[in-house]
Amino acid sequence: MVTDPANSRPTPARHVTVAAKSFGRDCGRIGNDRHSSFRSFAVVLAIPALVFAATPAQAQDLPALPQSAEVTLKLQRDGTLSVTEAVSVPAGTTMTRTLPLRTSADAGHDRVLTVRDLSIEGSGSTQTTDDQIVVDLRGGTSVVRYTVAGTVGRTLGVEHLTWDLAGGWDTRLELLRATFAAPNLPDAVVCLAGPPGSATPCGAAQLDHSGLTRVSVSKLAPGDRVELTAELPAGTVPATEQLVPAKSVAGAFLVTTPILAAWLALAALAIAGLVTLLVLRRRDRAAVLPVRLEVDGQFSSPQGVLPGHVGFLLTGRTDDLDVAVTVLDLCVRNYLWVGEDGQEGWTLHRRNPPDGYLTAFERTVYETAVPGDSAPLSAITPDIEDELRTAVVRRGWLTRRPALVAKIAARLCFYGVFLTALLAFTAGYAQLGLVVVATGAALTLFAQWLPPRTQDGSLLRDQLRGLRTELATPAEVTELIFSRALPYAVALGETDRWLGTRAEPVCSLQAYWFGAPATPVRTSAFLAALGAATKSAPHALGGVPPAEPRVGSSA
């Protein structure tokens, strides 16, 4: 007879042996039957199944000592683990076990367990939450049964089961005995006992002749664990382990399926944005379109553009030069008159009041340059950027898209940093915040390279380039054309060549807006004084070259 050394009772293996012998005798009696060979083969195949079915889970051993436990584990073919715990509680006392359903797997992952079919036979109760199960047992012997999913993991194609046989008890265990059965014999078994994290082997853990893994540990302190790990042949059962990001900073930054989907979505948006940007920049490619200074005897500017618009259209920003050329344009358009006060002084006089032909930014410059009827040419520092931007946007030459995209990008970066910190210390998935930050950074670059001009604005830019060419090599011009084109020559950087092309008879004429003969020398002196009054550097009056918009344009 095969006996169990722990309790000296016949083991289920003996019944399996007797059943096998009985089947053998039956096979001998029917040896003359033509199907006897097939039946004998079926009997041989049935023996392992009988061994696995007749495990102690069918007949739970009861603890022989007070304050001890008998645990039976049976790994099912679907990967779930059936657990039966028989616990002896001394009369008049209680024993409580806290079974965690979320445990640490590594630095960045937690293992999540699922328990079902929980029942108690005896005196006790259970409390279940999302993270743990609490079992309270009172005096006497109680049997707790439940099924666990999530105990089987897979590493390099090998399944391994890990289960804590005794962790979480609030009282000392005098003796713990356990058995473990699986569809196939384990390739290796490791059993550790003691405080969590210790590497002390169990006192007794071995495979017996019936294929059961038996564990026996005595005198376990409150909170000690007995961790059993069984390595199973590949394909024994499916892996049921559920790993989730750990509730830590490392776990918060793990790449999970939602995080990967978010990064892929960002990559797709980045590609779409890049294609859009290439199309818009290709459409905004600069060219030179010829224009005429004079149409039907009158000066003509492309699309009615003003000198103050030029710098904003070409660079996407305003500066002191825009104020200077606006003052000059108000002079040649007969709103202001330039008087000379001695050798060095210049005076601006109001000649005509502002009317409906002046834009908002021109009116601001007019009132700032000459607060009264007249004023010496001194500091002129009006803030016209907002008014100028509004003017060119209203005319349909520029769009506010780059500024709007840049503002959205800045907010996304700020909110992304905040979201990353918040998720890192709360719900996890902190890389979602990083995705938001990366989106903001990508939009910042997008705004930097996004052309601020509309299609009409690009056309006007090309016409201004043609106007610059015309100003550099003009034909003979009249006094009116000379004066009206002068602010554009200053804005486009062609001042010197425009003044140098004047024939002497024309230069000696008395300009209608100038209190002295408008010779190149006197005109250059006035422009220098005007540049100083508007804080423009002397070379700035050379104008703004028709280049691409500056990076970071807010227009």
DSSP H helices in 109-171? none
pLDDT tens-place string over residues 253-309: 888 888 999 999 999 999 999 999 999 988 888 888 888 888 877 888 999 999 999
pLDDT at residue 118 tops 90:
yes
Give the contacts of 2 (CB within 8 A, at least 6 positions apart). 10, 11, 13, 14, 17, 209, 210
- Rg, C-alpha atoms of the chain: 46
- Which pLDDT score, from 0 to 100, does residue 368 have? 92
Tell me the two tokens of residue 403. Answer: 């500024």
Cα–Cα distance measured from residue 161 to residue 286, given in angstroms and rounded to the nearest whole number: 69
Q: What is the average per-residue pLDDT within 478-493?
A: 88
- Which pLDDT score, from 0 to 100, does residue 2 have? 33
Q: What is the average per-residue pLDDT within 510-530?
A: 80
Q: How confident is the model at residue 81 (pLDDT cuts 50, 70, 90)?
A: very high
- Which pLDDT score, from 0 to 100, does residue 510 have? 59
pLDDT at residue 393 tops 50:
yes
- Which pLDDT score, from 0 to 100, does residue 342 have? 67
Beta carbons of 177 and 191 less than 8 angstroms apart: no
Q: What is the average per-residue pLDDT within 162-183?
A: 92
Q: Is 221 helix (H, G, I), strand (E, B) or coil?
A: coil
Q: How confident is the model at residue 536 (pLDDT cuts 50, 70, 90)?
A: low
- Which pLDDT score, from 0 to 100, does residue 341 have? 74
Tell me the two tokens of residue 347. Answer: 């005076």
Greatest alpha-carbon span in the chain: 143
- Which pLDDT score, from 0 to 100, does residue 353 have? 93
Question: Mean pLDDT lowest for which of 255-269, 282-296, 382-396, 452-466?
Answer: 282-296
Phi first, then psi: give them for residue 217, nearest 5 degrees: -135, 135
Tell me the two tokens of residue 372. Answer: 């009264």
Q: What is the average per-residue pLDDT within 348-366?
A: 93
